[in-house]
Structure formats: structure tokens, C-alpha cells
Amino acid sequence: MDRGAALDRLPLFYAVAVRLRDAGAGTELIAAGLGVEPEAVPALLEVAESKLASLEPVGQEDMRWMQLR
């Protein structure tokens, strides 16, 4: 799964934060866009990246599970 597809699977709040950061937005702009305090942005991005990392790609291994059902 590519990064864009993984971002589409995140809750919108986290996806917007990551997309803004990836587009070069700074902490202040991300905070304003999400309606949070700038101090919350680093932790929010950390949670978002953790959620992204936990997403497993859909691939051959997943297809095997589908065939077993």
C-alpha cells in the first residue's frame, strides 16, 4: 500500500495533519487548520505516524486469509 492509500485509511483529523506537514506546513498552520493549540501538533503527528505504521498492507498474505474463509 502506498502512503496516499494508507493516509486515506487514517481518521480524517490525523490524515489532514500529516498531509499538511508533508506539504511543508509548519506547526502554526497545522494547528490553525485543525483547530488545536500549536503545542499539541508534535504529539498529534506522532500519534498519526504511529497509526500509519500500524496499517498492514493488503498483499498476498492477506489474500491467503481470504481464501481460507
The domain spans of the chain are 3-68
Asked whether 36 and 45 are in contact (CB, 8 A), the reply is no
Asked whether 34 and 13 are in contact (CB, 8 A), the reply is yes
Portion of the chain with pLDDT greater than 90, in percent = 65
What separation, in Å, do the N-terminal and C-terminal C-alpha atoms of the chain show? 23
Q: Provide the sign of the torsion angle of the four alpha carbons 52, 58, 61, 65, taken in this order.
A: positive
- pLDDT tens sequence across 19-41: 999 999 999 999 999 999 999 99
Query: What CATH architecture applies to the domain 3-68?
Result: Orthogonal Bundle (1.10)
pTM flag (> 0.95): no
Q: How confident is the model at residue 3 (pLDDT cuts 50, 70, 90)?
A: confident
Mean pLDDT of the chain: 86
